[in-house]
């Protein structure tokens, strides 16, 4: 065999050896990848099974020990209020039911539901585990009545509302006794008013402001405010006097009214009407004190008199012998009580002059500012 043939044979054998080695490496790599994939899939399945089991166990445990736990069911929620709302009204507004799981209640939704009531100004809700729920309610304080006419029945008329200092209209199922002594604002159209509506009319807000700044004044107490005129407030006080206010600078007008009262106190006079809109020359109508009435004593009734004919007849008749004998030796007389004389009424008509009523008289007060 020649040298070239030997070279070809050696080259072919070396090539076949390298090819066999490559095939063996590919088989090993394939087996390794298969084993790795099998392990990964097995671990993934095991992990998913573990997570599923844990989730199911957690759900069952949460349901059994939390949602269905009898220790977490609401029992007798505490409700505190300072007004006329009842416990059932507050719980119904907040959708609170006894026996409900305390963890299912959203405190923000509960508070907003209670504050939707027109009577509620502020509500505070707290949750104390395991089953205690506390609700504190601060109700609005009405300061006046608002109605269309002064003659309307405040408690039953559909056109009358209670109103607080911020202008919120209220309707209460329970009318407290102190509500009947609140000032009355009339002369406005209330047909479109609803409970829980905030009033924005400037004249009503001015009347509420006047009531607030005058709330501690004992000498001048507001009983009624008439808003029938578009340029002023006509106020009636506890003495039925009428005071006219403008809408601007109510505090300055109250100062002028206090000066009028101070100036009248030494003379013990009372005013019938005051117009506080002018700043300097304040017109005041005063009541003149009534003159004391002089009562005349009743005339004494004269005793009855006999007529002249009866008197003459009694004188002309002769006395009987028995009477003459009795006159000579008069027995001791026994006094018998005489019957009372009938009262004689004077039938002459008497004209009584009626007393002249006190006429008001005007006076102007001048103030600086």
> Would you write out the chain's pLDDT as a tens digit for each of its 369 residues?
565 665 565 666 666 666 667 777 777 778 888 888 888 888 889 888 888 888 888 877 767 767 778 888 888 899 999 888 999 999 999 999 888 888 888 999 999 999 999 999 999 999 988 888 999 999 999 999 999 988 888 888 888 999 999 999 998 888 888 999 999 999 999 989 999 899 999 999 999 999 999 988 888 999 999 999 989 999 999 999 999 999 999 999 999 999 999 999 898 888 999 999 998 888 999 987 665 555 555 444 455 544 444 444 444 444 444 444 444 444 554 454 444 444 434 444 455 555 555 455 555 655 554
Distance from C-alpha of 139 to C-alpha of 343, rounded to nearest angstrom = 71
Distance from C-alpha of 204 to C-alpha of 161, rounded to nearest angstrom = 13
Under 8 Å between Cβ of 224 and 186: yes
Read off the tokens for 265. 């106190």
- Exposed, middle or buried by CB within 10 Å (0-12, 13-18, 19+), for 143? middle
Tokens 């050696």 belong to residue: 10
Distance from C-alpha of 81 to C-alpha of 97, rounded to nearest angstrom = 18
Under 8 Å between Cβ of 157 and 117: no
What does pTM read for this prediction?
0.63
Strand ranges of the sheet holding 78-81, from the earlier edge strand across to the other edge: 78-81, 132-139, 120-128
**Chain-centre distance for alpha carbon 368:** 39
Buried b or exposed e, range 110-128, using 16+ CB within 10 angstroms? bbebbeebbbbbebebebe
- C-alpha to C-alpha distances, 226 to 41, 46, 104, 150, 240, nearest whole angstrom: 88, 84, 52, 8, 13
For the chain, the three-class secondary structure string (H helix, E strand, C coil) is: CCHHHHHHHHHHHHHHHHHHHHHHHHHHHHHHHHHHHHHHHHHHHHHHHHHHHHHHHHHHHHHHHHHCCHHHECCCCEEEECCCCCHHHHHHHHCCCCCCEHHHCCHHHHHHHHHCCCCEEEEEEEEECCCEEEEEEEECCEEEEECCCCCCCCCCCCCCEEEECCCEEECCCCCCHHHHHCCEEECCCCCCCCCCCECCCHHHHHHHHHHHHCCCCCCCCEEEEECCCCCCEEEEECCCCEEEECCCCHHHHHHHHHHHHHHHCCCCCEEEEEECCCCCEEEEEEECCCCCCCCCCCCCCCCCCCCHHHHHHHHHCCCCHHHHHHHHCCCCCCCCCCCCCCCCCCCCCCCCCCCCCCCCEEEEEECCC
Q: Which residues contact 226 (CB under 8 A, 6 or more apart)?
A: 150, 186, 187, 233, 234, 235, 236
User: Do β-strands 78-81 and 132-139 pair in parallel, antiparallel, or remain unpaired?
Assistant: parallel
């Amino acid at each position: 065999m020649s040298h070239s043939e030997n070279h070809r044979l050696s080259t072919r054998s070396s090539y076949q050896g390298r090819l066999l080695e490559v095939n063996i490496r590919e088989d090993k790599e394939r087996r390794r990848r298969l084993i790795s994939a099998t392990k990964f899939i097995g671990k993934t399945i095991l992990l998913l099974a573990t997570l599923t089991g844990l989730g199911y166990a957690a759900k069952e445990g949460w349901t059994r020990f939390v949602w269905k736990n009898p220790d977490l069911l609401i029992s007798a929620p505490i409700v505190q209020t300072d007004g006329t709302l009842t416990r059932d009204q507050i719980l119904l507004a907040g959708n609170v039911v006894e026996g409900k799981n305390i963890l299912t209640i959203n405190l923000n939704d509960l508070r907003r539901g209670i504050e939707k009531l027109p009577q509620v100004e502020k509500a505070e809700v707290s949750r104390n585990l395991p089953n205690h729920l506390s609700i504190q309610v601060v109700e609005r304080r009405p300061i006046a009545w608002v109605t269309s006419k002064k003659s309307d029945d405040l408690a039953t008329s559909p056109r009358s509302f209670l109103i607080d200092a911020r202008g919120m209209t209220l309707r209460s199922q329970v009318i407290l006794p102190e509500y009947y002594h609140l000032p009355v604002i009339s002369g406005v159209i209330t047909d479109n008013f609803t409970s829980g509506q905030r009033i924005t009319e400037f004249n009503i807000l001015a009347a509420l402001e006047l009531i607030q700044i005058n709330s501690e004044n004992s000498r001048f107490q507001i009983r009624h405010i008439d808003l029938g005129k578009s340029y002023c407030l006509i106020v009636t006080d506890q003495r039925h006097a009428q005071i006219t206010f403008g809408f601007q600078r109510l505090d300055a007008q109250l100062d002028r009214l206090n000066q009028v009262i101070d100036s009248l106190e030494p003379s013990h006079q009372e005013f019938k009407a005051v117009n506080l809109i002018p700043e300097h020359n304040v017109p005041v109508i005063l009541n003149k004190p009534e003159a004391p009435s002089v009562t005349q004593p009743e005339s004494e009734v004269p005793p009855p008199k006999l007529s002249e004919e009866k008197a003459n007849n009694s004188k002309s008749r002769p006395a009987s012998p028995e009477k003459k004998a009795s006159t000579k030796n008069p027995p001791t007389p026994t006094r018998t009580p005489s019957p009372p004389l009938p009262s004689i009424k004077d039938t002459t008509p008497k004209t009584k002059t009626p007393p002249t009523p006190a006429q008001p008289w005007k006076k102007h007060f001048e103030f600086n500012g």
